[in-house]
Amino acid sequence: MKKNFRWLTLCLLTACAATPDNPDPHRTFNENALEFNMDLDDYVLRPLASGYKAITPDVMQESVSNFLMNWKEPFYCVNYVVSLDAEHAANSVFRFVINTTFGILGLFDVAEQIGLEKAETSYKATLKKIEMPNGDYLVLPVFGSSSTRDAIAEPISWFADPVGYFIGFPYMLVKAIFGAVNDRASNMQLVNDMKKDKSTMYSAMKSVYFQKFVTGYSDNEEDDDEEEEIAESETKGKIEENGHSKNGKSDHNKQVAKGK
């Protein structure tokens, strides 16, 4: 059974694999998926996130983020146990118990105030830890940027949340929707800037993904935050550089036209 699973995984990772002549073999599929995701964002996610930001005070938005983070702790704990990381598994348990009780179901991050720092993780990190090759870049409908390795982790993440087994599928669905709206609201300006120039949006999102999820996964949360800030600043730089380039070409064309 294990041999069959490894063989299947190898096939998934090597099928249509990138080569020097074709470094992005799934680009056609990716661009179609990206277009679908952008339409979904335009007509559903961005209006919901904009309305959420407009009617919700910053303090309440922080409480919602804390609440969503708290109910991810059981999932983090299971993932750390699978990774044989007892220290972070215990940290997730203590954070969940303290914030659920003293933090009013997680609306307030009391655990962080007493020195228990949050430590996010995912099965993407676990697959990287066991040195499974990243594979090719993929854009998944609804889920967004991923890879042939991380695409395996997506369904695992859905079914490995222990809280979902107690409350049921509706909880998982509601949590996913609220999480998506909250994340979109938190990154409103960055995503809007990316979408201004569709010609660079694909490469910009791919760059952010690789910097955050392929070269990242540090055990130090401050390092992760710093890497994310670098990725965002480089993405903004590319967008601004492209804008300046277009403006420069426009000015040049105007000068040529005047000369004529």
pLDDT at residue number 64: 92
pLDDT of residue 168: 74
What pLDDT sits at residue 125?
Answer: 82
The domain segmentation of the chain, as residue ranges, is 187-247
pLDDT on residue 228:
47
188 within 8 A of 87, measured Cβ to Cβ: no
Three-state SS for 138?
A: strand
- pLDDT reported for residue 233: 53
- Report residues of the chain scoring pLDDT below 70: 1-22, 216-260
Give the H or E element holding residue 40: helix 27-40
Cβ-contact 124, 216 below 8 angstroms: no
What is d(CA 232, CA 211) in angstroms, rounded to the nearest whole number?
9
Question: Within 13 A of 105's CA, how many CA atoms are on the CB side?
Answer: 4
In angstroms, the Cα distances linking 196 to 4, 11, 191, 199 are 46, 38, 9, 9
Q: What pLDDT is attached to residue 216?
A: 61
Grouping H, G, I as helix, E, B as strand and the rest as coil, residue 56 is: coil
- Whether 77 contacts 92, CB under 8 Å: yes
Tokens (6 digits) for 133:
């090759």
Distance CA 181, CA 176 (A): 9
Distance CA 94, CA 219 (A): 18
- pLDDT at position 149, please? 86
Q: pLDDT tens-digit profile of 213-233?
A: 777 654 444 444 444 454 455
